[in-house]
Structure 1
Amino acid sequence: MRFFSVRLQYLSVSLFFGLLLVLGVLLHRDYGLPWDEQLDRLNGIISLKYVALKLAPDLARREPNFALIPDMRDNQDTDHGVIFQLPLLVLERLAGAHDSRDVYFLRHLVTFFTFVTGVYIFYRLTAQRFRSWVVGLLGAAVLMLSPRFFAEAFYNYKDLVFLAFFVCGMYTLTQLLRRPSWRMALLHACATGAAIDVRTMGVLLLGFTIGFVGLEICYRPILWRRFAGAVAVYMVLTATVVVLGWPYLWENPIGHFLEAFQSFSRYRSDMTVQYWGRQVSVRALPWHYVPVWLFITTPIMYSLLFLVGTGTLLHAALSHPLTWLRTRTGRQDLLYAAWFFGPLLAVIVLRSVLYDGWRHLYFIYPAFVLLGMRATVSGWRYASRSTRQGRLALVGILMLMTSILHTIFRIVQDHPYQNVYFSALPGPLARRLFERDYWGLAGREGLEWVLAHDSRAHIRVGTDARAALVLHNNSLLLPPAERARLLFTPAEKADYFLTVYRWHPGPYPTSVGREVHFIQVNGMKILSVFERR
């Protein structure tokens, strides 16, 4: 029987993740280019130039575009690490991707594969916690089948890649807590350093490591020497990985890192966001900004599971706290609760600058799912009983399965604009209250429509002044011949005016032109094309 069980596990896990990889290959060309993608790549190019000048200056200066690349001192995005961007640039060269269309499609595919790797590690983490590969696979499915995450996994280099790296760090931390050794400390240091080099919020892994190693020592004092040695190795190697993987830190590691870390609580401009029907400054967001965005963009059943799972955790912790902490699962659940609630409370208390929904805290979502899995496991146990609670639990499990199927339907229906998914709000209401396509992805389809319906050799297109980057970025995904037909001009001189409604959520006056095309997702308009001729 064990042979067949292992065989079933291997086939199920292989089929699930194999399907995800196939979907990545099939879908990676469907998405547009977001605001920051070109700037993220430029940040990597600047760092690559800096590294090349340090290691092989003569060879670097022979590069055709060497003089056009800004120096590190002129880089506006030094507060973002490049440990993910640098390998992508090398891969572009190895793959022979020269045109922007090929470059960004390749990057989308690799980004998606990176996220899938993070989902696999999350499967391992969940299966370990609940001692069940079935629960692990269900948790991985819930993480993957979150519509906004599914879409952003192709192009969100900052938040979704950081989520994948952070999950890896949490997994290696749980392994270190179980069996402290210098080898596991080495793996955990690499995971922590890499996470920090994607986003400075990765320093939370340092805090979790020190805090929960201390907790383990309290309950397993016999291992204190092994834990102390592992932490010493971990701290030294983490600092080494962070500096080596982030060229900006090479000349002044401590000073430059502190400067980058402090930028998380600042923002260079006083941008506004659409929140509850008002334009609100990112420097004056209410405390409930992140919780509201989290719940309105997460499938309702997932949120209910989280609330029930958190309730069961609180009951266990408060009923017999000392007994609860003596168990390994109790300490693990405390770690996962800290993973979710710690960063959330920190940004609320520190009034950190956030924008574009709750994407800066995406990395806490796996903990959200883990807490929800507590409710699922408890419900499954109750469902096997012929009692009223058992029947309610069975209904809950059936609702979860129905919710997953409905979420799959929405992912297919909204493709490739799952990034504007709202769970609890109908489209017309969400359109009035919250931001829509803040990534600007719909600009690609708008440009493609204009080119398909206007045969002139040169077409002038424009948009709102602050959103000009949307059109330029998405033109990079067009075939070179089509790209050459577009002339970007101020809105008043354009033949076509395109808008993604960012910073202008209301309708446009007739003076803008005649609306000839629009994109609508679940009753919510996310792009309009106006003809001005």
Structure 2
Amino acid sequence: MFGLAWLVMIACWPWAHESPLANPLQAIRMASKFHIVVPVLFEGRIVPSDSLPRYYLAKYLWITTPPWQLLLAAVGCVTVVARCWQSRTNGCRNPRRLVDGMLIVWLTLPLLLFALLRPNAYDGIRHFLFVLPALALMASVGLQSVFLVMKRLRGGKLAERIASVGVAAAIAWQVAVLATLHPYQLAYFNGFVGGVAGASRRYETEYWMTSYGEAMRWINSQPRNANGQPTRVLVAANENSLW
């Protein structure tokens, strides 16, 4: 399975085709020791990217993932760990438990390695997007567990329908929130930090500055001064980030 995963990884990676084993390993080494240090706005302070706290990645997942997905993922983690514990005597011979174990490792190992090694990182979870599929899968396990519990309750069909409505409402709410942010959905922060408004002075919201285009169009649309001269604009930026 590891070999298949490696083949899938390098399939659309032209540089890896030159040396399918050495080049991916070199990329991992380079990524773990990125030499450019970037100022990062984190928890209201400017911190060098090579000196971020060990919980940086976990904190960003906590504040940029929809709360309902975090809740379902937590239920999924408990479910997966319980299933693995129950099958601990013959787990290696049970394909489903192997998949459960791989899912746990996929989700937790990057967080643990980040906490232990403290690599040079910035721009939130951009360098760790591969964790998101594992988080989504774990949430799906949690959702399945919720439905199984509902089905076993008295009046199981009604409870199952209520759970379905709740999940649909959560997804609809999330779509509505992202629609209000369009076209800046990447700047999403959840309610744990007060949304984008609450995070704007404490965390990086627009690393790629895509909103600057709209700001410039607004400036250009403003009328000139009475004397016909262009309007002066004061840009109050963080001088440490001008690198």
Shorter-chain TM band: 0.7 to 0.9
The alignment status of 1:398 with 2:135, answered yes or no, reads no
Residue 189 and residue 348 in structure 1: after superposition, are their counterparts in 2 closer, same or farther (change >3 A)? closer
Distance 1:402 1:503 in 2: 43
The alignment status of 1:432 with 2:169, answered yes or no, reads no
TM-score (norm 2): 0.81
Partner of 1:445: 214
Deviation of 1:272 after TM superposition, in Å, equals: 1.8
Partner of 1:296: 63
Deviation of 1:190 after TM superposition, in Å, equals: 4.3
Checking the alignment, whether the CA contact within 8 Å between 2:41 and 2:47 is kept in structure 1 is yes
TM-score (norm 1): 0.40
Distance 1:257 1:309 in 2: 31
Partner of 2:8: 191
CA RMSD of the aligned region, Å? Answer: 3.4
Which one has the bigger helix percentage?
Answer: 1
Distance 1:425 1:408 in 2: 19
Deviation of 1:302 after TM superposition, in Å, equals: 0.2
Q: Secondary structure at the match of 1:436?
A: coil
The alignment status of 1:369 with 2:133, answered yes or no, reads no
Q: Secondary structure at the match of 1:378?
A: helix
Partner of 1:270: 37
Structure 1 residues 289-298 or 375-384, which shifts more?
375-384
Checking the alignment, whether the CA contact within 8 Å between 1:382 and 1:390 is kept in structure 2 is no
Q: Secondary structure at the match of 2:129?
A: helix
Residue 192 and residue 429 in structure 1: after superposition, are their counterparts in 2 closer, same or farther (change >3 A)? closer
Partner of 1:311: 78
Q: Secondary structure at the match of 1:273?
A: strand
The percent identity for this pair of structures is 23
Q: RCO (CA 8 Å, sep 6+): is it higher in 1 or 2?
A: 2
Aligned residues: 236
Look up the equivalent residue of 2:50 and give its one-letter code.
Answer: R
Partner of 2:114: 347
Distance 1:416 1:502 in 2: 24
Pairs within 5 Å for 1:236-275: 242-244=16-18, 254=22, 260-275=27-42
Deviation of 1:495 after TM superposition, in Å, equals: 3.3
Distance 1:276 1:389 in 2: 44
Distance 2:95 2:36 in 1: 46
Partner of 1:387: 154
Residue 504 and residue 272 in structure 1: after superposition, are their counterparts in 2 closer, same or farther (change >3 A)? closer
Distance 1:389 1:444 in 2: 52
Deviation of 1:193 after TM superposition, in Å, equals: 1.3
Deviation of 1:346 after TM superposition, in Å, equals: 1.8
Q: Secondary structure at the match of 1:301?
A: helix
Residue 391 and residue 276 in structure 1: after superposition, are their counterparts in 2 closer, same or farther (change >3 A)? farther
Checking the alignment, whether the CA contact within 8 Å between 1:301 and 1:403 is kept in structure 2 is yes
Q: Secondary structure at the match of 1:433?
A: coil
Residue 394 and residue 304 in structure 1: after superposition, are their counterparts in 2 closer, same or farther (change >3 A)? farther
Q: Secondary structure at the match of 2:41?
A: strand
Residue 346 and residue 446 in structure 1: after superposition, are their counterparts in 2 closer, same or farther (change >3 A)? same
Distance 1:377 1:503 in 2: 49
What do the CA deviations read for 1:167-196 (whole angstroms, capped 9, x no partner)? Answer: xxxxxx49x8xxxxxxxx6xx66422136x
Residue 327 and residue 302 in structure 1: after superposition, are their counterparts in 2 closer, same or farther (change >3 A)? same
Checking the alignment, whether the CA contact within 8 Å between 1:298 and 1:422 is kept in structure 2 is yes
Structure 1 residues 405-414 or 382-391, which shifts more?
382-391
Checking the alignment, whether the CA contact within 8 Å between 2:40 and 2:48 is kept in structure 1 is yes
Q: Which runs of 5+ in 2 are unaligned?
A: none
Q: 2:185 aligns with which of 409, 418, 425?
A: 418
Checking the alignment, whether the CA contact within 8 Å between 2:72 and 2:139 is kept in structure 1 is yes
Deviation of 1:393 after TM superposition, in Å, equals: 6.5
Q: Which runs of 5+ in 1 are unaligned?
A: 1-172, 177-184, 199-240, 461-493, 506-533
Pairs within 5 Å for 1:81-96: none
The alignment status of 1:330 with 2:147, answered yes or no, reads no
Partner of 2:232: 495
Deviation of 1:265 after TM superposition, in Å, equals: 2.2
Q: Secondary structure at the match of 1:371?
A: helix
Deviation of 1:268 after TM superposition, in Å, equals: 3.0
Deviation of 1:275 after TM superposition, in Å, equals: 1.2
Checking the alignment, whether the CA contact within 8 Å between 1:376 and 1:397 is kept in structure 2 is no
Look up the equivalent residue of 1:243 and give its one-letter code.
Answer: H
Distance 1:261 1:295 in 2: 25
Checking the alignment, whether the CA contact within 8 Å between 1:324 and 1:330 is kept in structure 2 is yes
Look up the equivalent residue of 1:290 and give its one-letter code.
Answer: L
Distance 2:58 2:174 in 1: 21
Deviation of 1:334 after TM superposition, in Å, equals: 1.3
The structure number with the bigger radius of gyration is: 1
Look up the equivalent residue of 1:433 and give its one-letter code.
Answer: R
Checking the alignment, whether the CA contact within 8 Å between 2:64 and 2:188 is kept in structure 1 is yes
Deviation of 1:345 after TM superposition, in Å, equals: 1.7
Pairs within 5 Å for 1:106-125: none
Residue 405 and residue 377 in structure 1: after superposition, are their counterparts in 2 closer, same or farther (change >3 A)? same
Look up the equivalent residue of 1:437 and give its one-letter code.
Answer: E
Q: Secondary structure at the match of 1:321?
A: coil
Distance 2:45 2:134 in 1: 31
Look up the equivalent residue of 2:108 and give its one-letter code.
Answer: F
